């Protein structure tokens, strides 16, 4: 069983359906309301664990009801919670999510405790990072935690996946120690200034990101799939799966958790991306984020179906 360490965010998802996303100043009657575990780190840890990896999650919670529910969730998912800190002075992060009738979403995140993860708290998990097959990061936490994790992974020769989401400025020199980067179109634009609208612009953006030092650039393109670039004059679009989307929230996290599992288990890059696309596709057929992450048998069934 592969060992995956996820360092990042946990927030509780407070989600409501709505006929359409509200305009500025508009109140929309929605419903139903749903509360559940979330945050990019939490979602990715759940996706990797359900895919079949042994997952350690490094994050910080508040000493409140949301934090206690988080610990219950990760215990149930067989995620190692040894390095999940509880801060008595901070609240657990929260995400306010609106999802319209087309499955599109609008999200506001208050990071709370997970936005204050310190260098020392990451260093406490160094032994787990050393033992890991892959380390998975996002930018939905303190940059101090991101930089420290990349540093420790480099020292111990452990490959890093950086999902630069939601985008915030970070020291670009760490990219020389990142094996895989997985921006979506918006994050690729923030990194390069290139508006990604098709395979051609995806290639241009990927080449610029690759020049920053990342070996493998994977730009996720929603329902189209994901674009892979590893150098040279060409990249390749790995297409997604056709499903009926109910809620697209967390699809990128599903992709990253699935990719971490697959690549740490020795899949080729393309096969790992196919596995990740399947995880993402299945996740959007259910409402919610972490609870919508599919299990390995569901993913394998979808992959097998497409091979017939």
Structure tokens at 91: 């609240």
Q: Which residues contact 197 (CB under 8 A, 6 or more apart)?
A: 185
DSSP 164-177: --S-----GGGGGG
Residue 146 CA to residue 128 CA, distance in Å, equals 16
Q: Is 253 a catalytic residue?
A: yes
Burial level of 88, CB count in 10 A (0-12/13-18/19+)?
Answer: exposed
Please identify which of the residues 78, 133, 253, 271 carries the catalytic annotation. Answer: 253
Check residue 151 and give left, alpha or beta (phi > 0: left; psi -120 to 50: alpha): alpha
Residue 193 CA to residue 196 CA, distance in Å, equals 9
- The residues annotated as belonging to the active site are 253
């Amino acid at each position: 069983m592969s060992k995956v360490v996820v360092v990042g965010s946990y927030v509780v998802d407070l989600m409501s359906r709505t006929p359409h996303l509200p305009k500025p100043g508009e109140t929309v009657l929605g419903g139903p309301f749903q509360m559940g575990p979330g945050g990019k780190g939490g979602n990715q840890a759940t996706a990797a664990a359900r895919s079949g990896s042994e997952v350690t999650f490094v994050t910080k919670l508040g000493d409140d009801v949301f934090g206690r529910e988080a610990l219950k969730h990760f215990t149930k998912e067989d995620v190692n919670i040894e390095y999940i800190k509880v801060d008595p002075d901070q609240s657990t992060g929260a995400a306010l999510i609106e999802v319209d009738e087309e499955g599109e979403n609008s999200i506001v995140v208050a990071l709370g405790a997970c936005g204050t993860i310190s260098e020392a708290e990451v260093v406490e998990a160094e032994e787990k990072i050393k033992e890991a097959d892959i380390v998975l990061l996002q930018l939905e936490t303190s940059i101090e935690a991101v930089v420290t994790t990349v540093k420790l992974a480099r020292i111990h020769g452990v490959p890093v996946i950086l999902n630069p989401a939601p985008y915030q400025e970070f020291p670009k020199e760490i990219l020389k120690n990142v094996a895989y980067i997985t921006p979506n179109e918006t994050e690729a634009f923030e990194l390069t200034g290139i508006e990604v609208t098709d395979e051609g612009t995806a290639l241009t953006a990927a080449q610029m990101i690759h020049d920053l030092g990342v070996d493998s650039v994977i730009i996720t393109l929603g329902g189209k799939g994901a674009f892979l670039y590893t150098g040279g004059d060409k990249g390749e679009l790995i297409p997604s799966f056709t499903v009926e989307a109910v809620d697209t929230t967390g699809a990128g996290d599903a992709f990253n958790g699935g990719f971490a599992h697959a690549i740490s288990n020795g899949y080729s890059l393309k096969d790992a991306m196919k596995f990740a696309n399947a995880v993402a596709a299945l996740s959007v057929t259910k409402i919610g984020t972490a609870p919508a992450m599919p299990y390995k048998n569901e993913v394998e069934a979808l992959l097998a179906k497409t091979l017939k």
